[in-house]
């Protein structure tokens, strides 16, 4: 009787918590969490006949789907499967659980999100976290070296669910993989073509496909001063940029994982960049990134990938065209530090000659930042000053679109700019 009274009192207190949150208009997630606690308490309260009272609800992080929702899902899956088959893929299926040792250690910090099952007949099992590791196990077991396969199935993650944002503990993944040894970037380009076809056919509106190469990321970490043994943990944090602002990501890297603030700031410069072929070319010219042979190899392959994507008609030339909001004809830039006075002298000459010009308001801006500003703003020319140019009495004039550079004598610079920018 005392136990029942205690449960009733706990139910009363928990009810007050729920009512207070609703009155304060707290977030749905917070209210749902407290309601779930209330329902669990009620479930432990037996009826007058002593029988246990069951509360009918789905498990945390899961949901039911009604017939209308299932019809939508079926239509979407049919579109996806049709595209996979159009590209010559076979399908496979694997068990919903794997040996725990197969999954453990494959996901880095995310390994803690794996659902472990009780010992079943001498085997330690876990629910699959994704479809990739089971696929790798399938290939190894069957000694398969070449296959183009798709797999649509449920996976399970012991995550803290945020169902209002689409984060569940049970959800579907649609995987398409081309396994084998092939010439660089050809299979990769087809995979991206498939993603483009599916998203276009589903008519979801505008979308952006992001690509990466582990070599570029690891090379960037190396040149930014990240210790080798921290690559994976810092990578896990950088992956959160899709969900968190940069300051929150930096705070986790520095204050929680012990990365130096200087290294984090350097990472911030690179991860803030966006682009396709143009960004790969810019980074190949970046003095810091050039120090990593690994990064250069990845960037070279990314350039090749984008050339194939253009042939597949996947790249959107309208993301690359710039809408100009100014009429600046030339940016006066510096290749080295401590050249502010020389930049001011040169831009004054250009202004006095009626040329529309600008410079960055920093004493020693990085050349990459200056060139990136020109590409983003649509400025057609860059007049670059460096110690060698000053010594030789020339200015390096760069065509932003073609990236061609030529040394022009200081005396001929104004005439050359006017010639290149005349309508």
In this structure, are 72 and 176 located in the same domain?
Answer: yes
Phi and psi of 260, rounded to 5°?
A: -65, 150
The pair of structure tokens assigned to 219 is 């090379």
CB burial of 82-118 (b: ≥16 within 10 Å; e: otherwise) equals: ebbeeeebeebeeeebbeeebbeeebeeeeeebbeee
248 domain-assigned: yes
Looking at residue 50, its pLDDT comes to 52
pLDDT exceeds cutoff 90 at 221: yes
pLDDT exceeds cutoff 50 at 332: yes
pLDDT exceeds cutoff 90 at 103: no
Looking at residue 68, its pLDDT comes to 94
- How far, CA to CA in Å, does 58 sit from each of 53, 71, 298? 16, 21, 45
CB 152 within 8 A of CB 81: yes
Across the range 95-114, mean pLDDT stands at 81
Looking at residue 296, its pLDDT comes to 94
In this structure, are 120 and 146 located in the same domain?
Answer: yes
Looking at residue 54, its pLDDT comes to 66
Q: Cα separation of 165 and 362, whole Å?
A: 41
Beta bridge partners, 147, equal 179
Across the range 288-313, mean pLDDT stands at 93
191 pLDDT band, cuts 50/70/90, is very high
Looking at residue 376, its pLDDT comes to 84
Q: In this structure, how many other beta carbons lie within 10 angstroms of the beta carbon of residue 375?
A: 19
In this structure, are 355 and 416 located in the same domain?
Answer: yes
Q: What angle do CA 336, 340, 346 make, to 5 degrees?
A: 100
In this structure, are 34 and 101 located in the same domain?
Answer: no
How much of the chain exceeds pLDDT 90, in percent? 59
Looking at residue 111, its pLDDT comes to 76
Domain boundary at 284, 312, 340, which? 312
95 domain-assigned: yes
Q: Which of 118-122, 155-159, 200-204, 373-377 has the lowest mean pLDDT?
A: 118-122
Looking at residue 194, its pLDDT comes to 97
C-alpha distance across the termini of the chain, in Å = 93
Q: Cα separation of 359 and 385, whole Å?
A: 12
In this structure, are 31 and 88 located in the same domain?
Answer: no
49 domain-assigned: no
Give 332's contacts (C-beta < 8 A, 6+ positions apart). Answer: 343, 346, 347, 350, 357, 358, 359, 382, 383, 385
Report the Cα 19 to chain-centroid distance in Å. Answer: 39
163 domain-assigned: yes
Q: Cα separation of 297 and 320, whole Å?
A: 24
Across the range 185-213, mean pLDDT stands at 93
Give 368's contacts (C-beta < 8 A, 6+ positions apart). Answer: 282, 285, 286
160 domain-assigned: yes
Across the range 33-42, mean pLDDT stands at 84
193 domain-assigned: no
Domain residue limits at 403: 330-421
386 domain-assigned: yes
pLDDT exceeds cutoff 60 at 306: yes
Report the predicted TM-score, pTM, of the whole model to 2 decimal places: 0.63
Looking at residue 107, its pLDDT comes to 67
Place of tokens 């789907």: 65
Phi and psi of 95, rounded to 5°?
A: -60, 150
Q: Cα separation of 317 and 198, whole Å?
A: 19
Report the Cα 384 to chain-centroid distance in Å. Answer: 33
In this structure, are 230 and 258 located in the same domain?
Answer: yes
In this structure, are 107 and 159 located in the same domain?
Answer: yes
Q: Cα separation of 312 and 291, whole Å?
A: 32
321 pLDDT band, cuts 50/70/90, is low
Looking at residue 1, its pLDDT comes to 47
318 pLDDT band, cuts 50/70/90, is very low
Q: What angle do CA 396, 397, 401 make, to 5 degrees?
A: 135
Domain boundary at 249, 282, 312, which? 312
Q: In this structure, how many other beta carbons lie within 10 angstroms of the beta carbon of residue 199?
A: 16
Looking at residue 175, its pLDDT comes to 96
Across the range 217-224, mean pLDDT stands at 94
In this structure, are 94 and 168 located in the same domain?
Answer: yes
Beta bridge partners, 174, equal 152
Looking at residue 2, its pLDDT comes to 64
Q: Cα separation of 324 and 327, whole Å?
A: 7
Q: Cα separation of 250 and 241, whole Å?
A: 10
Rounded-to-10 torsion of CA 217, 223, 226, 232 = 20
190 pLDDT band, cuts 50/70/90, is very high
pLDDT exceeds cutoff 90 at 60: no
pLDDT exceeds cutoff 50 at 124: yes
Higher pLDDT pick, 375 / 225: 225
Q: Cα separation of 312 and 188, whole Å?
A: 12
In this structure, are 37 and 88 located in the same domain?
Answer: no
Measuring CA to CA, which residue among 414, 422, 421 is closest to residue 399?
421
Q: Which of 78-82, 88-92, 238-242, 359-363 has the lowest mean pLDDT?
A: 238-242
Q: Give the CATH number, domain containing residue 136.
A: 3.30.930.10
336 domain-assigned: yes
Q: Cα separation of 295 and 284, whole Å?
A: 9
In this structure, are 102 and 35 located in the same domain?
Answer: no
In this structure, are 38 and 102 located in the same domain?
Answer: no
Looking at residue 147, its pLDDT comes to 97
pLDDT exceeds cutoff 50 at 42: yes
In this structure, are 281 and 338 located in the same domain?
Answer: no
Looking at residue 257, its pLDDT comes to 93
Q: In this structure, how many other beta carbons lie within 10 angstroms of the beta carbon of residue 242?
A: 7
Look at the chain and report how many structural domains it folds into. 4
Looking at residue 49, its pLDDT comes to 52
Domain boundary at 130, 164, 181, which? 181
Place of tokens 């005349």: 422
């Amino acid at each position: 009787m005392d136990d029942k009274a205690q449960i009733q009192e706990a139910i009363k207190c928990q009810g007050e918590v729920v009512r207070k949150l609703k009155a304060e208009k707290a977030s749905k997630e917070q209210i749902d969490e407290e309601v779930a606690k209330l329902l669990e308490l009620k479930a432990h309260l037996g009826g007058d006949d002593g029988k246990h009272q069951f509360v009918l609800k789905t498990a945390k992080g899961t949901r039911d789907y009604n017939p209308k929702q299932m019809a939508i899902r079926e239509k979407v899956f049919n579109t996806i499967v049709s595209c996979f088959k159009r590209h010559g893929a076979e399908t496979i299926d694997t068990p919903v659980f794997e040996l725990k040792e197969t999954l453990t250690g494959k996901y880095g910090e995310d390994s803690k999100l794996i659902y472990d099952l009780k010992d079943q007949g001498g085997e330690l099992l876990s629910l699959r976290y994704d479809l990739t590791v089971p696929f790798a196990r399938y290939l190894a077991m069957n000694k398969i070296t070449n296959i183009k396969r798709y797999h649509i199935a449920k996976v399970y993650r012991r995550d803290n669910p945020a169902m209002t944002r689409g984060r569940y503990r049970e959800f579907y993944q649609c995987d398409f993989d081309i396994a084998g040894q092939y010439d660089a970037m050809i299979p990769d380009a087809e995979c991206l073509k498939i993603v483009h076809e599916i998203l276009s056919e589903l008519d979801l509106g505008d979308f952006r496909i992001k690509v990466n190469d582990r070599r570029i990321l690891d090379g960037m970490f190396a040149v930014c001063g990240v210790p080798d043994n921290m690559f994976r943990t810092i990578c896990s944090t950088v992956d959160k940029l899709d969900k968190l602002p940069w300051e929150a990501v930096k705070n986790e890297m520095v204050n929680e994982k012990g990365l130096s603030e200087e290294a984090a700031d350097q990472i911030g410069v690179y991860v803030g960049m966006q682009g396709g072929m143009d960004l790969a070319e810019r980074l190949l010219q970046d003095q810091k990134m050039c120090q990593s042979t690994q990064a250069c190899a990845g960037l070279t392959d990314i350039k090749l990938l984008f050339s194939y994507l253009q042939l597949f008609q996947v790249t959107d030339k309208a993301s690359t065209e710039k809408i100009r909001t100014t009429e600046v004809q030339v940016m006066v830039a510096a290749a080295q530090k401590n050249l502010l006075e020389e930049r001011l002298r040169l831009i004054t000459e250009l202004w006095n000659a009626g040329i529309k010009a600008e410079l960055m308001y920093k004493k020693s801006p990085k050349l990459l930042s200056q060139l990136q500003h020109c590409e983003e703003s649509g400025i057609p020319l860059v007049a670059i000053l460096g110690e060698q140019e000053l010594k030789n009495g020339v200015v390096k004039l760069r065509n932003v679109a073609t990236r061609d550079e030529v040394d022009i004598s200081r005396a001929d610079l104004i005439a050359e700019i006017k010639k290149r920018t005349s309508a």
